[in-house]
Amino acid sequence: MSNIAKAFAGGKAFIPFITCGDPDLATTAKAVRAMAQNGADLIELGIPFSDPTAEGPVIQAANLRALSGGVTPDKIFDLVRDLRTDVTVPMVFMTYANVVFSYGAEKFISACREVGIDGLILPDIPFEEKEEFSDVCRRYEVDLISLIAPTSANRVGMIAKEAEGFIYLVSSLGVTGERSEITTDLTAIVKVIRESTDVPCAIGFGISTPEQAKQMAKIADGAIVGSAIVRLMAQYGAEAPAHVGAYVRDMKEAVRCLSKD
């Protein structure tokens, strides 16, 4: 069983996201440890990029603050290396193709393997162009996570059949950010996914409350939250890890009671 598969083996998963380096890497490390200690099943680590096209204003601002503070991929690799001394939950990077291209795809992905990153999410890479990265990811046993959006339509089954690790189902059109209501017919999309693959599916974009997390986890295998956590990091700064830990605990509790389908 892969490390990512373990995140979903015990029931519905809660997956938090954090932008590395906002407000600084030491605080990021404390927040990640707080997430792990409070029930996070898998953690997404955002590598900041100057033009994060999938992100809403909260995560965009966090990216710019982190970059202004001098965060680089090498510093984030060092961060993960340190985290892996005691954090055992699966961790994946979420970033953009230009970050990987600039670093060198093979060098970047082999470094992921070396420090203990289990998967890679590149939201700006279309399904049809993923081979640029997928062959290298397979060589180093780093899962290239597929995204499925409401606009994927008749491509949902095709994407799902080739998926690895888990499928990131985008709940709504547009960019990341908290939403008061999610109206997409996600049940129909998940039905097609489950007819096409056994790879677990988690829903992200727009989830911020325990009630929303529970609703999404009922439909799929887990819920992903980013902007609400990044907002806590911005609000509380160096004091944020305790608040993030409490938030993750509440969100995990909301999905914990759901049985696995």
Average pLDDT, the chain: 92
Q: Whose structure tokens read 């049985």?
A: 259
Domain range annotation of the chain: 12-253
Query: At 178, is the pLDDT very low, low, confident or very high (cuts 50, 70, 90)?
Result: very low
* pLDDT score at 257: 73
C-beta contacts of 256-261 below 8 A and 24+ residues apart: 256/11, 256/12, 256/39, 258/11, 258/12, 258/214, 258/217, 258/218, 259/11, 260/8, 260/11, 260/12, 260/221, 261/221
If you average pLDDT over residues 53-58, what whole number do you get? Answer: 79
How far, CA to CA in Å, does 134 sit from each of 62, 107, 137, 170, 189? 28, 14, 5, 20, 24
Using alpha carbons, select from 90, 88, 110, 109 the residue that is nearest to residue 99.
Answer: 109
* pLDDT score at 176: 47
* pLDDT score at 197: 97
Higher per-residue pLDDT: 179 or 184:
184
Cis peptide leading into residue 150 (ω within 30°): no
pTM, entire model? 0.93
- Distance, in Å, from the CA atom of 38 to the CA atom of 19, rounded to the nearest integer, reads 18
What's the CATH class of domain 12-253?
Answer: alpha beta
Query: At 175, is the pLDDT very low, low, confident or very high (cuts 50, 70, 90)?
Result: very low
